[in-house]
Structure 1
């Protein structure tokens, strides 16, 4: 197995929304806001290469939305999905599986592309993986998440019959080195892949812990549907991570890809930070 970090670009969101009830005087020290109160975030995906499969975990936001719609996310930087894949010797046609942690647009927007004004799967040879509970949640969104669940990002996949659902503990659908953890504080039934790699356990933490700065228990984004549940899930996961020496792989931290954890008098905090390629 080989793992590759795939940088699909950077974007900006309101810092207050990203840190919920935590005061700006605290979060601004680690995630400084610009003059519009926006903080920098990454859209970092993960590519998993096994003997016969090439699995992309999440896709980034893509570029098929209108210029006005994309302007709300302040996309910046030179990194793109295609450029990042190519830097590792791959293209979209090589992808056999796309694992969508959840269907928010910054995670699943590039699952579908526009070609000659027609919406088609971005990865022509891939099976797309979600789960039925989350899919139905996205199909009938609540008012808080409606702007994040855009049907053009996932319904074309179903029309092309390239979506499969992982329900229950059907971990045998993937190589034995990959298992799945479900969490529901951020959104219903978000899937976190847990990967055994070079004798280490790596967890793609998605929006359970968007950045290193979100490790403290109360640091929960205002976007989370069930913030108290997010806190409980994070508390349980962090203890599990410390006990089992997990490595966390961050999707949204603009600077840090991976970290290990340690228990301190203030609770669980980062130990070491490093790039995935340095493992």
Structure 2
């Protein structure tokens, strides 16, 4: 199946890669929002689980090839974890890159919105010689607060920050504090909210701006500022960030693109956020087992 792509002007292309598929508890993903409300916007299966893709976004530019987040990898999770997280498919990132005439060694930068397992497991490849960086020539960009907590998790976060995901790649990591530009026109903005070091990404195109809100707006159904995850460590910060960035982006007619959404790769709403003006849809969504 051809990979979904979106051109951001003449010199930037976004391509969604297959980073694996999970099915997580719908109630946890929508927090205090009642199921009769959120289930109208996002399909749920008989186990009360919703499909959450873990698909890195490849950003091809003139001088750099970036990857936004890394997927769940392959052979990185135990059988228990695979079962608990409802994993129905592991990463095919390397195969997808080959379809584009690329290899993991061609990735120049990996842009991490945060380091939770479903975003960071793909940073490491399992080999006969042991774990090694999956993208050996890339600089891994991550917020300083996130990197500190990754290495020193608390009682809550230790269930998602695994040392196996940072020890093999620590020599490749570059940290920043508030904002950071890993490439021209690409800006990482620290928001907190989902985690203390969570960041969103803004890509400046010649005609439009493209926002990746990461896990403070993981799917199109989370556009409402008050619809935040039970997984968020600092939900009021998530609400503030959505009010600050999403509201203005809607008024400007900007695009939003996603890592987790089962249906939409990217979407552009009208300024009210109620009507879809344009979208890139995931081709496989119609056959998704989460469809009712």
Q: Same fold per TM (> 0.5)?
A: yes
Q: Retained in 2: the 8 A contact 1:96–1:125? A: yes
Structure 2 vs 1, CA of residues 78 and 121 (structure 1 numbering), >3 Å: closer, same or farther?
A: closer
Number of positions where the alignment pairs a residue of Structure 1 with one of Structure 2: 270
Correspondence 1:1-279 to 2 at 5 A = 1-63=12-74, 64-77=76-89, 80-116=92-128, 118-158=130-170, 161-171=171-181, 174-264=182-272, 268-275=273-280
- For the residues of structure 1 that align with 2:112 and 2:89, how far apart are their CA atoms? 23
- For the residues of structure 1 that align with 2:89 and 2:275, how far apart are their CA atoms? 27
How many angstroms does 1:153 deviate by?
0.7
How many angstroms does 1:65 deviate by?
2.0
- For the residues of structure 2 that align with 1:81 and 1:39, how far apart are their CA atoms? 22
Structure 1 vs Structure 2 CA RMSD = 2.0
Structure 2 vs 1, CA of residues 42 and 273 (structure 1 numbering), >3 Å: closer, same or farther?
A: farther
Structure 2 vs 1, CA of residues 43 and 270 (structure 1 numbering), >3 Å: closer, same or farther?
A: farther
- For the residues of structure 1 that align with 2:180 and 2:113, how far apart are their CA atoms? 15
How many angstroms does 1:273 deviate by?
4.1
- For the residues of structure 1 that align with 2:203 and 2:84, how far apart are their CA atoms? 34
Q: Which residue does the alignment assign to 2:3? A: none
3-state SS of 2:274 partner: strand
How many angstroms does 1:131 deviate by?
2.3
* TM-score, length-scaled by structure 1: 0.90
- Structure 1: give runs of 5+ residues left out of the alignment: none
Q: Retained in 1: the 8 A contact 2:218–2:259? A: yes
- Structure 2: give runs of 5+ residues left out of the alignment: 1-11, 283-292
- For the residues of structure 1 that align with 2:193 and 2:90, how far apart are their CA atoms? 32
Structure 2 vs 1, CA of residues 175 and 255 (structure 1 numbering), >3 Å: closer, same or farther?
A: same
- For the residues of structure 2 that align with 1:31 and 1:169, how far apart are their CA atoms? 32
- For the residues of structure 2 that align with 1:45 and 1:212, how far apart are their CA atoms? 17
How many angstroms does 1:175 deviate by?
2.7
Q: Retained in 1: the 8 A contact 2:68–2:110? A: yes
Q: Retained in 2: the 8 A contact 1:241–1:261? A: no
Moved over 4 A (4+): none
How many angstroms does 1:81 deviate by?
1.4
* TM-score, length-scaled by structure 2: 0.86
CA deviations on 1:192-230 (whole Å, 9 max, x unpaired) are 221123522111221010101101122111000111221
- For the residues of structure 2 that align with 1:193 and 1:276, how far apart are their CA atoms? 20
